[in-house]
Structure 1
Amino acid sequence: MKMLRTMTRLLLLSLPGILAGDFAELDPEAAAVAEDPQFDPYDDKPRGVGADAEYAPKGRTVESFDFDPSEGLTFYVEGGSSQCFYQDAKFEGDELGGAYVVSSADSHIDLEVKNPEGVTIYRRLGDAEGQYLVTPKQAGVHELCFINPDSDGKLVTHVTNSLQSQHPVEKEHVSVLAKYASHLDVRLGELESELRLQLIRSDRHIKVEEEMNKHVMFYGTLECAVYLVVCFFQVYYIKSLLDSPRKARTWV
């Protein structure tokens, strides 16, 4: 019994030291936090995994842009027409980039980029959504045109800011805590932009379904009308045979 009491007292006396040692690890003043200069919030691959790993995520295209309505432009392109905008290349080699999504039933549109002399230097044809990146060989204002070759109008959303430009990692992010806070900000921004992009895609799919339903109803109604005309003709012909069997003509 005395031995048990002695062990209990020793445990109670040593408990504050154990707890103090544990909480010292959480106190930034008590223990220094090791820096991680290799940490990159935009690096999606797991820590310690090479870029050539089979399960390393692929580079994203449209999803890497910020589809915030305040950061982009949504416009309507009528059938057989085009909508043009302008991007300025400050110097030779200055990259011009962006992404676009079509949210109409017939979701295919052409994209052309022209240099200040009016020469087409980049072209994408028949995409429902896509990303473009142009490195012009001369500075100046470049023309960006969305061309609708079809007869139906189309709704296009165009953005130029990427998530990395919207959530940059500043040089002042020297502590591990600040870097991981920036990492969390980047991931939340990606999730928010992904939700907006999915809403645009869902709206496009809904319009496609509505257009298909219209076609089905039209051809269904046309088929019913043809059946009614054939039935009416058959009834009329049989009635004519019964009314005057001798005068009725045969099909032979």
Structure 2
Amino acid sequence: MRVLLSVVASLLLLAGAHATALTTILKAGEKACYYADVDGAGEKVGFYFAIQSGGNFEIDWVVMDPEDRIIIEGDNERQGDYIFTAKQIGEYSFCFANEAAGTDKLIDFDIMVESEPRHVLSASQAPLKDHTSALEESTYKINGLLSSIQRLQKYFHTRHHRNYSTVLSTQSRLFWFTILECVAVVAMSLAQIWILKTFFSRSGSRRFRV
């Protein structure tokens, strides 16, 4: 039983992926790059990003291999979720550009480098092969379901931030519109008072001969 539990723990560790979850603010006119190391050719690399606030929630981005060749890129995108196979060992770059926009952007993104090694059983663990194979497949299924839940949570997190940003923007517009409306009403009232005062002043200055 102890051996079986150790195998399950090993599978859970192997099913995981090395991931980096970050949140950053990209100033207007700036460009920022982040890097991830790939230790073996054929590893899967996942890249997720979402603009939480700023402007129209759009950003330019590009992913390049260790030789600075473009793998994938996009212009004026709000979010993306991509997976590609790394063909080379080395440092991959993930860059965001906010050069054309006039507002700061709040960006959430994940960089995941994932390999899927299979657990090799020793001779003493050979009788457990059938059980571990089933456990291994179940572990990978659970890992896939957890990844789906995480991505769904990220989607709702992004929607929350965007809706909150929209609410703040709407409140700000309503506030300034109300101020402008009050100023207009006061100005119209003063203008009416001045017109009436001028009218009666001119009327009172007239002379009539009887």
Compute the TM-score of the two structures, normalised by the length of structure 2.
0.64
Equivalent residue for 1:71, pick from 15, 20, 40: 20
CA contact (8 A) 1:122 1:134 kept: no
CA contact (8 A) 1:102 1:157 kept: yes
Report which structure shows greater RCO (CA 8 Å, sep ≥6).
2
C-alpha separation in 1, matches of 2:35 and 2:140: 32
Q: Are residue 239 (structure 1) and residue 190 (structure 2) matched?
A: no
**1:219/1:174 CA distance change after superposition, 3 Å:** farther
More strand by share: 2
Partner of 1:102: 51
- Residue 108 of structure 1 and its aligned partner are, at CA, apart by 1.2
State the AA in 2 paired with 1:123: E
Partner of 2:167: 209
Question: Which range is displaced more, 137-146 or 153-162?
Answer: 137-146
Compute the TM-score of the two structures, normalised by the length of structure 1.
0.55
CA contact (8 A) 1:169 1:182 kept: no
**Matched pairs, number:** 178
C-alpha separation in 1, matches of 2:88 and 2:143: 36
CA contact (8 A) 2:54 2:104 kept: no
Equivalent residue for 1:128, pick from 59, 78, 93: 78
Unaligned runs of 5+ in 2: 1-16, 121-128
* Aligned-pair identity (%): 19
C-alpha separation in 1, matches of 2:46 and 2:157: 23
Partner of 2:34: 85
CA contact (8 A) 2:36 2:111 kept: no
Q: Secondary structure at the match of 2:159?
A: helix
Partner of 1:145: 95
Q: Secondary structure at the match of 1:151?
A: coil
CA contact (8 A) 1:105 1:205 kept: no
State the AA in 1 paired with 2:187: V
CA contact (8 A) 2:54 2:103 kept: no
Equivalent residue for 1:155, pick from 95, 102, 106: 106
Equivalent residue for 1:220, pick from 172, 178, 182: 178
C-alpha separation in 2, matches of 1:137 and 1:180: 28
Q: Are residue 200 (structure 1) and residue 158 (structure 2) matched?
A: yes
- Residue 228 of structure 1 and its aligned partner are, at CA, apart by 2.0
State the AA in 2 paired with 1:213: Q
- Residue 198 of structure 1 and its aligned partner are, at CA, apart by 1.4
More helix by share: 2
- Residue 189 of structure 1 and its aligned partner are, at CA, apart by 4.4
- Residue 218 of structure 1 and its aligned partner are, at CA, apart by 1.3
